[in-house]
Amino acid sequence: MVAVTPAESSKAMTRIHRAALVEDAVHQVIERNLRNRGWKPYITAYTGYGAPGWARVMGRVLLSRPRLVRKKREKLRGWRSFTTTPVSNAVVRIEVGGSVTETRTDRSGYVDCRVKGDLEPGWASVRLHCEGAAPADAPIRVIDPAVKFGLVSDIDDTVMVTALPRPLLAAWNTFVLDEHARMAVPGMAVLYERLINANPGAPVIYLSTGAWNVAPTLSRFLSRHLYPAGPILLTDWGPTPDRWFRSGQEHKRNSLRRLAQEFPDVKWLLVGDDGQHDQEIYSEFAREHPDNVAAVAIRRLSPTQAVLAGAVPGPTEEAEAVPSGGKTWFAAPDGAGLWSLLRDTDLAE
């Protein structure tokens, strides 16, 4: 078993940043006090992915009040997701079929582990166990080795209108706005569904700079607006062993490189928007891994949306397809515009 966890290497831990030390000390005090009051651990499982023979399993161990009844709420404020207490260094057992892999949570309570197991292509499930917590099942998207096409999609301002990265608007959307009030970008769900229907077995992976805390909210949003199900790759906000704040751009770059390494025969359609750094990141990835990029589709923000997102307003043409770096870049203001360009390509046949 090869474990790939967010837990830092021993070398990094010996030179941990002061901000991370303070955060760890605060977590330890809060965890000790809550345990003394009878709080118990519970597991939040995230959707992972894999291939026959292995799976990337992701989850988090947190503390909750004893005898807390978890009911499905019709409305949920984003700030509630950030008032959780992680359990660090907890032993987690991952059960895949008849095999069990043991690992530990990192300093923020996360598990991100590659495990061996016999899994059939399609959707599978693995079970996570932690002492004192009820088991949790993590869905796994198992990619068939015969599949040669997949879709990687940004979330903010690509499938969901969030007006990032303006700090005040970002904070409002993340911590205050009711999840049911979030708006979907017109036509994007239909675009993805058509592409998946044209490429049976193709996976959809959502890649965002958002925090893992909002993963349940994002999953419900995507399901409610009929986006194809798929893993959501997020990051952990806060200090790291070597810096004050985690880099969202590096998270995206590293995630794309990892996908290229794990699925060397898959060509990805990279979907993003022109309001942040998607074009730059996708362009770099296309140069580094030209055999892993089918094309790039960019949702062009309107002048007003671009200003709200902190970007320079771009051209106002309805749609365009231009070659760039050996790859075709498609640009349009919504899903319908992108489909009008993609439907005549090999990706939609």
Least reliable range by pLDDT among 118-132, 249-263, 322-336: 322-336
Q: Confidence class of residue 28 from pLDDT cuts 50, 70 and 90?
A: low
Residue type, 47: T
- Please give the Cα distance from 274 to 307 (Å, whole number): 11
Mean pLDDT (the chain) is 80
pLDDT, one tens digit per residue, over 290-331 is 999 999 999 998 655 555 555 554 544 445 555 555 568 999
Q: What is the phi/psi pair of residue 247, to 5°?
A: -90, 115
Q: Which of 87-96, 128-137, 241-250, 284-293 has the lowest mean pLDDT?
A: 241-250
In order of 2, 16, 37, 189, the CA distances from 12 in angstroms are 19, 6, 33, 41
Q: Is the pLDDT of residue 74 over 50?
A: no
**CA distance between the termini of the chain:** 39
Maximum pairwise Cα distance, the chain: 63
What is this structure's pTM? 0.83
Q: Which comes out higher in pLDDT, residue 70 or 295?
A: 295
Mean pLDDT of 280-286: 94
DSSP notation for 118-160? ---SEEEEEEEEETTS--EEEEEEEPPTT--EEEEE--BTTTE
Residue 41 pLDDT > 60: yes
Q: What is the pLDDT of residues 185-220, one digit of tens each?
A: 999 999 999 999 999 999 999 999 888 888 888 899
CA angle (200 as vertex; 196, 202 as ends), nearest 5: 60
The DSSP code for 174 is I
- Give the CA angle between residues 72, 134, 99 to the nearest 5°: 120
340-349 contacts at long range (C-beta below 8 A, 24 or more positions apart): 341/297, 342/191, 342/195, 342/295, 342/297, 343/194, 345/295, 347/149, 347/195, 347/198, 347/199, 347/269, 347/294, 347/295, 348/194, 348/195, 348/198, 349/198
The reported pLDDT for the residue numbered 227 is 98
Q: What number of other Cβ atoms are within 10 A of residue 158's Cβ?
A: 26
Contact 205, 266 (CB under 8 A): no
Placement of tokens 């799976």 in the chain:
55
Work out whether the CA dihedral 174, 180, 182, 184 comes out positive or negative: positive
CB 257 within 8 A of CB 288: yes
| pLDDT score of 301 | 85
pLDDT, average across residues 172-185: 69
pLDDT at position 13, please?
42
> Mind listing the domains of the chain with CATH numbers?
10-142 (2.60.40), 149-348 (3.40.50.1000)
* Rounded percentage of the chain residues whose pLDDT exceeds 90: 52
